[in-house]
Amino acid sequence: MKCTEFIVEYLKKHEKLSHVFTYAGGTNAWLLDVLHKSSNIGYIPMRHEQNAAFAAEGYARAGERLGVVLTMSGPGATNLVTGIANAFFDSVPVLYLTGQVTSMTYKFDNPVRQLGYQETDIVSIVKPITKNAVMARTETEVASFLQKSISIARSGRPGPVLLDLPTDVQRKEVTCAKLDVKPICENGPCASNIKIGSVIKLIQASKRPIILAGGGVRVSGTCDLLMEFADRFQIPVVASLMGKDSFPNDHPLFVGFIGSYGNRYANLSLANCDLVIALGSRLDSRQTANPKTFARAAKIVHVDIDLCELENAALSDLSIHSDLRKFFEKILRFNDNQIDVDARLEWKKYIRLVKAEFYTEPAASRKKINPKLFLRKLSDLSAGNEIFTADVGNNQMWAAQELKIKKDQRFIVSGGLGSMGFAIPAAIGAHFACPDRPVISIVGDGGFQMSTPELETIVSNNIPVKIIVFNNNVLGLMWHFQGENFDNGHPATEDGYSCPDIQKVASAYGLPCMKLENERQMLKGISWILSAKGPALLEVMVDRSWAAYPKVKPGNPIEIQLPKISKKKQCKYMLIPLLDD
């Protein structure tokens, strides 16, 4: 069989792959032709290669499997770069197949800038943002590199890989015997018995422990083990942005979302704990706010599969290089009779008091829609199996703060790279991974304009994605940042920025749409979007005065957030000495 047929057959045989996301071009036409003839793997033509990359990531994350993208050389390949970086920083296994010019017209070591039309050395460009990137120069390499690429993408800390395929190599014959060579996922590191014993001792000595669930919990497929661990040892759980859907937000032990834009009650709880067990979290500045003051009265246990992340952003008292599944399996074998869970009653009582104090119903707005109230109502009315994708900006922080993600729901966002325009194409990918589940995409007017062409993808494929656009006619997060730091107006966020009539745009694509302008319409609008049978768009008008509060000012301790509360009130809920901002 030809190499193109081999690639499709190999993916069909060894991966639970239903769809490939693509954009047509001259150097990937042969692979597209084989996909077109395949009865087992479909293909989704996107309107931009960057969106194809985001869709494959949404597919991989929602379906917990490999995502695959197919593009041409040159601009088709370079348009993938943002999506590749996004998958790299958020640890998502995606295979990028890029067609390349023929071997005869590729420059290799020739010092000229370019030899073939639409030739680009994509392998060198993406090496820093992939786990592996390579060109297959022979038909034998196509077979071996495909197997190796998939193995690398899914082993250890997952991530993206790229396989570049010259068109002449694509058309060569390869032996079918290679089809039986399966991808091999390497065994991850395992926590030693000594370190597991040290964790147990710290838990035994702790009166105010807390688990910080990072994105690695979801990536490692250990959400159920995390719940068993928290339940057995009766340890409350906070979550990072990427870890928000790793633990049911309606579970009695769930505290909230922490970090620079975290729930005030969650940040206060974390600040006052005496033990942090950080699982699959980078402990980056978005979580710690100020590493020097983060959990300053606590012992910190940090467990991660990536050795480079340990002792990197924040120092810990006990670093454990381990696959999370192996960590959980070992620690859950421990006989917990020696753990005095009753000693945590006062700690859990404190957390309930803090939540009751600061989980207040957001005040009704006299101007347009209160976005936080809207998201709480949306969360309350959701069925319980939705996949939420959220874009980057105020909309993402509001969603992280207010959506109560249930056990069977997902919350998929661009975390490390923070790519605007992510949510809508990611929702498309999530649908094809989980076609029986509702998918809701939450965006701002800025991110919406970056992904508008994919409305045609949604409509032409009748993808039942529900799009909610928070429209304040500015780039809200940056607009507030400029207001806090500069006195010269709002260049490029208000001055020079504009938004078209979203209702007309949606209608031009044939997308059913509705606009909410005041809170009297809120329940009607939410009911409409949730009950829509096919794709639909709900525009929610928001006043630009709404910021992503509460927010930690850079350099401040995690427990001191804007808008400020009185010092008397702050001290009331501090179990450790308060640091001034």
Output the DSSP codes for 190-229: ---HHHHHHHHHHHHH-SSEEEEE-HHHHHTT-HHHHHHH
Task: For 165-186, write each residue's pLDDT tens digit.
Answer: 999 999 999 988 889 999 998 8
Q: To the nearest whole number, what is the mean pLDDT of the chain?
A: 95
pLDDT value of position 92: 98
Give the sheet arrangement for strand 67-71, strand by strand: 42-45, 19-22, 67-71, 94-100, 161-166, 132-135
Asked whether the beta carbons of 21 and 69 are under 8 A apart, the reply is: yes
Predicted confidence band at 39 (pLDDT cuts at 50, 70, 90)? confident
pLDDT value of position 581: 61
Average of pLDDT values for 340-347? 86
pLDDT value of position 469: 98
Percentage of the chain exceeding pLDDT 70: 98
Task: For 431-485, write each residue's pLDDT tens digit.
Answer: 999 999 999 999 999 999 999 999 999 999 999 999 999 999 999 999 999 999 9
pLDDT value of position 119: 94
Average of pLDDT values for 511-527? 95
Predicted confidence band at 366 (pLDDT cuts at 50, 70, 90)? low
pLDDT at 47 over 70: yes
pLDDT at 36 over 80: yes
Look at phi and psi of residue 145 and say left if phi exceeds 0, alpha if psi is from -120 to 50, else beta. alpha
pLDDT at 336 over 80: no
Cβ neighbors of 290 (< 8 A, separation 6 or more) are 555, 556, 557, 558
Query: How far from 446 is each of 41, 114, 215, 260, CA to CA, in Å?
Result: 34, 36, 26, 22
Element (H, E) at 362: none
pLDDT value of position 265: 97
Sorted by where each starts, the structural domains of the chain and their CATH numbers stand as 3-180 (3.40.50.970), 193-358 (3.40.50.1220), 371-541 (3.40.50.970)
> Which candidate, 463, 449, 452, places its Cα nearest to that of 509?
452
E-strand ranges in 356-400 read: 387-390
pLDDT at 335 over 90: no
pLDDT value of position 367: 74
More confident residue, 548 or 340: 548
**Integer Cα distance of 19 and 375 in angstroms:** 31
Task: Assign 512 to helix, strand or coil.
Answer: coil
pLDDT at 339 over 80: no
**Integer Cα distance of 95 and 170 in angstroms:** 17
> What's the alpha-carbon Rg for the chain, to the nearest Å?
25
Asked whether the beta carbons of 427 and 54 are under 8 A apart, the reply is: no
pLDDT at 251 over 70: yes
pLDDT at 340 over 90: no
Asked whether the beta carbons of 517 and 368 are under 8 A apart, the reply is: yes
**Integer Cα distance of 458 and 480 in angstroms:** 32
pLDDT at 414 over 90: yes
Percentage of the chain exceeding pLDDT 90: 91
Which residues in 53-72 are b (16+ Cβ under 10 Å) and which e? bbbbbbbbbbbebbbbbbbb
pLDDT value of position 580: 72
pLDDT at 365 over 80: no
pLDDT value of position 433: 98
pLDDT value of position 478: 95
pLDDT value of position 177: 83
Average of pLDDT values for 134-146? 96
**Integer Cα distance of 498 and 504 in angstroms:** 15
Predicted confidence band at 337 (pLDDT cuts at 50, 70, 90)? low
Task: For 311-326, write each residue's pLDDT tens digit.
Answer: 888 889 999 999 999 9
Q: Can you name the residues that pair with 121 across neighbouring β-strands?
A: none
